[in-house]
Structure 1
Amino acid sequence: MTQFPIMGVIEDRIAQLGLVLPAPVSAPGGVRLPFRQVRVVGTIAYVAGHGPLAADGTLVEPGGKVGAEVTLDDAYGAARLTGLAMLSSLSRALGDLDRIAAWGRVFGMVNVAPGFDRMPEVINGFSDLILEVFGPETGAHARSAVGQAALPFGIPVEIEAEVHLRA
């Protein structure tokens, strides 16, 4: 299990909560990912879509559609794991999560079975994690939660974000 060095207040908070940031994503079956997980431009970090990862960087099971193969509770957990994957990418890109001044916008996508309409409850797994780690001021964010007919590799949740950095 990979753990990154504790550097600041946010990393200490992650450790206090008993959370572990996963290793970088391990693309399945020879898939090429020719983009950055985090792109910093000025004081904004654009975070590419992330899915739920195990500690070793592999995609977490169960995969599939929420409301069919994946329960609401499992999807909430997957959104929480997606948050940890995103924090791991941000930590590697920024060197210190204390550089985050504010979470700006979060876009959550849920792989849904026909008729499933509880996407906001799924993405709450991500939002709850960010608020636990960063607190109500820095962790507050604008958010969308939408349903999709499919997501890459059958993952139940994919989330992207824009994060504001300290100058």
Structure 2
Amino acid sequence: MKASEKIKQLGLELPPAPPPAGLYKPVLVVDRFLYVSGQGCMRANGTLIEGRVGHDLSLEEGKAAARQTALTMLATITTHFGDMDRIKRLVKSLGMVNCTPDFKDHPLVINGYSELMADVFGPDHGVGVRSAVGMMLPGGIAVEIEAMFELHP
């Protein structure tokens, strides 16, 4: 099933694609790869999910923010690249979690993103290599994720 059809079947609502917050491209195609700049966790109403996991947000709320970041990424791809069905597979993701210094479950937070990508692109093509780290994020957003996708020829 195509990714666009899967999104409809799952009843997912994509938020608006955020405008660039600096001097960079939201997406860039090089050869057969689509690179997506870091995406924040934007709600359908255009507001960002803010807070530090381990202080303002629980692990589950952080995971929900990562899932919302996946939806934001799909919206950015659709807006700035066009046809999501040209994506063959997810290759690499870097998940960044705004958290307290003692928080240790960054991978569990970023699973919210990874699970949604697997739902949309399938378990073979929606799961790539991944890093999950904790850090301070701009604007106090809870999660930021960047990714690289392989395109169909």
Structure 2 length normalisation: TM-score? 0.94
**Pairwise CA RMSD of aligned residues?**
1.5
Shift of 1:136: 1.1
Task: Give yes or no for contact 1:26–1:57 (8 Å, CA) kept in 2.
Answer: no
Q: Residue type matched to 1:101 in 2?
A: K
Once residues 78 and 42 of structure 1 are traced to their aligned partners in structure 2, the CA distance between those partners, rounded to angstroms, is 31
2:152 is equivalent to residue 163 of structure 1: no
Instruction: Select the residue among 49, 72, 75 that pairs with 2:62.
Output: 75
Q: What count of residue pairs does the alignment treat as equivalent?
A: 153
Counterpart of 1:35 in structure 2 is 24
Gaps of 5+ in 1: 1-7
Counterpart of 2:39 in structure 1 is 50
Q: Residue type matched to 2:144 in 1?
A: E
2:109 is equivalent to residue 122 of structure 1: yes
Counterpart of 1:151 in structure 2 is 137
Shift of 1:160: 0.4
Instruction: Please identify runs of 4+ aligned residues in structure 1 that moved more than 2 A.
Output: none
2:127 is equivalent to residue 140 of structure 1: yes
Q: Residue type matched to 1:120 in 2?
A: P
Q: How do 1:78-93 and structure 2 match up within 5 A? A: 78-93=65-80
Identity value in percent: 44
Shift of 1:114: 2.0
Shift of 1:99: 0.5
Shift of 1:102: 1.1
Instruction: Select the residue among 87, 90, 107 that pairs with 1:100.
Output: 87
